Structure 1
C-alpha cells in the first residue's frame, strides 16, 4: 500500500503575509478514509492541491512512499494521486464524457488495448446512458458523477476528494459511499475527503482531522453530525404569489424533463425543489428566468406576460457562484446590489455590516472574488442576492460548499427575507441538514411530473401539479 506524508509544510498565498497552512506534519494511514473539516477559507482545498502536486508549498514537502512528490514525473504522480476538484467543470477539457475519459487514459499512457475495458468499468449505469452526451448538457450532479468516475478510472493509489457529495442526490450519495468503502477495503486505496455535510459519515470515516483558522492540522474526536430528518412544520397554505407557470412542458435537447406542470409560488414562503440528478430541476430554473425556452405552456407574472427587465423581479442564484459575479471584488459586487435596491426594507447598512462580520467576509471585501475559496465565493454570491430584496429568489444548491455555521446563518437570513420583505424563495438543495425549520413546502420532480408534498400530504399520495 502507498504511504503519504506531509512534512513541516507551510503555504502562504501570493501577496499575503499570514500563512494559510502553518508547519503541518501528518502521516496518512494507507487503506483508510480520512475526513478533513474546517471553516470556509481555512485552506482545505489548497491543501489537497498541494498533495496532488498542483501547488508548491512555501516550505516543507510531500512524500509518497518516502519519495518527494516533486521528484515524480507527471505520469508517475497520476498513478499515485488522483484529485476530484470541488468544481467538477474545472476538470473537463473534452466535449463528451467518453472523449474525456479516453483523453485521460491516453495521458496516463494506458495501452490502447486496455482502454475499452477501463472505459466500460468507469461507466456503469446510469453513467453509461449518457457517455456520448455533451458534458455541458449534463446536470451539475451528473457532471459531479462523471468527474468522480474519471478520477476512479485513473486507478490512483491515493484519492483526494474535494466535496464529492455537494451536488448529488441521496441515492447517488449512498452509492458513492458504498463504492468508497469497497475501494478502501478491497483495493486498499487511501481516501482523503473534504466534506461539510457529515450527516451519514460516522460509519465510514476512520480518522477525522480539523484544519484550524491558524493553519494547523489536528486530529479531532468531535462527533460527526447525525443524519437529519426533514420534518416540515405545518405552515404551508396554498396562496397567491406573483410568479406562476401554466401547463409547462420542458424538453431540452429532445429529452422531455417536465410535462404539463402548473404551479404558483406562494408569496412569503420558502420552498424546496427536490429530485434525482438529471431530473430537470436546474433546467426548470433556467426556464423560469428566461434563459431557456419552454416547449409548451406559459410563465406569468401577476397573471400577465413576463414584464421587461424581469431580472428586477426574479433573482437567480446559479449553482456555481463564480458564474454570478460581474465585479472583481466583493465590495463592488455589493455596491451593484445596493444601487439596484437603494431603499432597502431590511438590509440596511447596520444589518449588512453585521452579516458580513458574522460570515467572516469583512476582511475579504477588497480581495478578488476569484481568489476566494469555494465556500467564501458561495457566501459572497448569496449575500449579494439577498440584499436585492427581490420579490422572488430561485437558489440552485445555495448550501453547497458552506460550513455548518454559514449554512445556519443563511437559513436565518432567508427566514428574515420572508418575514420582513415577503420574498418568495424556491431553492434546489440536496443538502437538507438544518432545513427542517425553514421549509414550508416541497416540490418533488419525478418522472417528468412535479408533485407537491407538505406535512399534511404523504409522499405516496402527493398531489401532482
Structure 2
C-alpha cells in the first residue's frame, strides 16, 4: 500500500514569492508524494502550478529564484527555509538525479548540442558514465516506451511539437529518477501520443516512481490519479481523490473538462462566423504543393536536413512531407487542419508566408504567387502564430512587442492605437508594461497572437494555438479568431484536437501521408 510508505518527496510551503513580486505566488500548499503514486495538480493559468512544479523539481531554487518560507523534503532529508541568508542551498544537479522534470516548454530540457534523438536521450547517461552497451540498450528501451524508435536518428530540431514533448519525457525518465514531475505533458500530443504517455505513467507508478502531473485540463489519464490537488490563486482550494470532484463544483471555471470544451464555452461556428459568399476569390491558395526534406547520406548522424529539390552532394533520398496539396481558403473562412504528430502540419503553415518554399507547385496570397517574394514582404499579408510563442517574442514590454515595426506600416500614432487595441482583444490590456518572458505560458501565447492581430493580415495561420490555454484563455482566443474572420481574414489553424477543431471551424481537414482530406 503505497500511501503508507514514507514520502519520497514532500513540501510544506507557507509562502513563496518572487523577488520582484508584491505578493506570494504560493501559500498554504502541502503535499507528500509516496512511491508508486500519481498525483495531479490542477489549476487555471496563473494559479501557481508551474511555480510549484519548478520548486519540486529543483528548477526554481529558494534564495536565488525567490523567497520560500517552509520546507522541502527529498529522500528523507528535510530542508527548512525562512527567507534568510542562512537558508540552505539546493544543488540542481544533485536534486535532478532524484527528481525528473518535464517543463511546459519541452525544448527547455534538451541539451541543444546533440544532433540526433538517440544522442539527446543518451546525454544524461553519458554524464553518469554508463557503458556504451548499457547506454544503447537503455536508449532503445526508452524510445520504445514513447514511440520514438523510428526517430532515433532524427535531428531534434526537426521534430514536431508532439514528438518533441515525448523526447523531453524520455530525457526526464531515462535515468529512472524516483520522482517525475510533468507540466502539461499531454499538450500538443495526438491521441496515440496521449495513450503512450498514459501507459508510460502506469508503468512508472507500477515500478514505484512517484509521478506528479500539473495540468489545466482534465485529460482522461488524470482520472487514474490517487489525489487531485486544486490550486486557485496560489493556494489549495480543494484536494482528494478524483471521485470527490465528479460534479465539478470544486474546480475553478478555467479548468477544461474531459472531451474538450463544455458546450456553452464556444458558440457553434455557423452562428459565430457567418459564411461569406463562395464567389469571393481565395485569400490563400495552394496548388499542387509538394515538399520534402532531404537527409544528407554522408552526414546522417548529424541530422542535416535539406529541402527536397535542394542540391545534395551525397544524393540522399528525399523524405516527403507534402504531396500534391491543394487548398483554397476564402476571406471570412475558418479552416482547421488536424492530423497525427509529425504529419507535417507546421510544415504546411510555413509555406503560407514563404518560410518554406515548395519543391513543386505554387502558393498564392490574395491572388499573387509568393514564389519570388522575400518573406519580409509577405508577413504583412500573412500573420503567423508559431507553435512556440517564445520564438516570436523579444521585446521588453508587451506593448512594445505588439507595436514593433507597426509604425513603419501605419505610422507611430496609429501603431500605438492598434497595439493597444490588439492587447485588449486578447485580454492583456492590464499587462501592457509586463515583460513578455515573465508572463505565464498562456499569456505569452495570447501576446504572440496580439502581435499578429495588430497587423490585420489577410490570412491568419495559427499553429497549435490552444496549447497552454485554460478555459478562460480559450474563450479569448475563440473571440479573437471569430472577430478576425468576421472582418474578412482567412483563418487556418492547426490543432491535434479534433473535437476542438469541429467546434471552431467551418471546415476540418486531416493531413496524413502528405495529403489533405476532409475529416
> What's the TM-score bracket when you normalise by the shorter of the two chains?
0.7 to 0.9
Matches of residues 180-199 of structure 1 in structure 2 within 5 Å? 180-184=201-205, 186-199=206-219
Provide the C-alpha distance between the structure 2 equivalents of 1:387 and 1:64, rounded to a whole number of angstroms: 48
Name 1:96's counterpart in structure 2. Answer: 116
Question: CA separation of 1:136/1:202 partners in 2, compared to 1, >3 Å: closer, same or farther?
Answer: closer
Which stretches in structure 1 are left out of the alignment for 5+ residues? 454-465
Name 2:492's counterpart in structure 1. Answer: 426
Question: Higher relative CO (CA 8 A, sep ≥ 6), structure 1 or 2?
Answer: 1
Contact 1:325–1:333 (Cα < 8 Å) also in 2: yes
Contact 1:139–1:278 (Cα < 8 Å) also in 2: yes
Contact 1:273–1:427 (Cα < 8 Å) also in 2: yes
Name 1:116's counterpart in structure 2. Answer: 136
Kindly state the Cα deviation for residue 292 of structure 1 after the two structures are TM-superposed. 1.4
Kindly state the Cα deviation for residue 351 of structure 1 after the two structures are TM-superposed. 5.8
Name 1:82's counterpart in structure 2. Answer: 100
Q: Normalising to structure 2: TM-score of the pair?
A: 0.79
Question: CA separation of 1:26/1:292 partners in 2, compared to 1, >3 Å: closer, same or farther?
Answer: same
Matches of residues 165-180 of structure 1 in structure 2 within 5 Å? 165-180=186-201
Name 2:471's counterpart in structure 1. Answer: 404
Contact 2:115–2:156 (Cα < 8 Å) also in 1: yes
Matches of residues 128-207 of structure 1 in structure 2 within 5 Å? 128-184=149-205, 186-201=206-221, 203-207=223-227
2:380 corresponds to 1:315: no
Matches of residues 211-222 of structure 1 in structure 2 within 5 Å? 211-213=231-233, 215-220=234-239, 221-222=244-245
For these two proteins, the number of residue pairs brought into alignment is 445
Moved more, 317-326 or 429-438: 429-438
Provide the C-alpha distance between the structure 2 equivalents of 1:113 and 1:32, rounded to a whole number of angstroms: 32
2:42 corresponds to 1:10: no
RMSD across aligned positions (CA): 2.8
Which stretches in structure 2 are left out of the alignment for 5+ residues? 80-87, 249-255, 295-317
Question: CA separation of 1:382/1:302 partners in 2, compared to 1, >3 Å: closer, same or farther?
Answer: closer
Q: Normalising to structure 1: TM-score of the pair?
A: 0.87
Name 2:455's counterpart in structure 1. Answer: 388
Kindly state the Cα deviation for residue 109 of structure 1 after the two structures are TM-superposed. 4.2
Provide the C-alpha distance between the structure 2 equivalents of 1:74 and 1:355, rounded to a whole number of angstroms: 40
Contact 1:270–1:438 (Cα < 8 Å) also in 2: yes
- What SS is found at the alignment partner of 2:351? helix
Moved more, 22-31 or 231-240: 231-240
Provide the C-alpha distance between the structure 2 equivalents of 1:403 and 1:355, rounded to a whole number of angstroms: 17
- What SS is found at the alignment partner of 2:181? strand
Question: CA separation of 1:20/1:377 partners in 2, compared to 1, >3 Å: closer, same or farther?
Answer: same
Name 2:47's counterpart in structure 1. Answer: 42
Kindly state the Cα deviation for residue 129 of structure 1 after the two structures are TM-superposed. 1.4
Question: CA separation of 1:103/1:199 partners in 2, compared to 1, >3 Å: closer, same or farther?
Answer: closer
Moved more, 93-102 or 67-76: 67-76
Provide the C-alpha distance between the structure 2 equivalents of 1:318 and 1:351, rounded to a whole number of angstroms: 21
Name 1:31's counterpart in structure 2. Answer: 36
Question: CA separation of 1:341/1:196 partners in 2, compared to 1, >3 Å: closer, same or farther?
Answer: farther
Question: CA separation of 1:390/1:9 partners in 2, compared to 1, >3 Å: closer, same or farther?
Answer: same
Name 1:259's counterpart in structure 2. Answer: 323
Matches of residues 200-239 of structure 1 in structure 2 within 5 Å? 200-201=220-221, 203-213=223-233, 215-220=234-239, 221-222=244-245, 223=248, 225-228=257-260
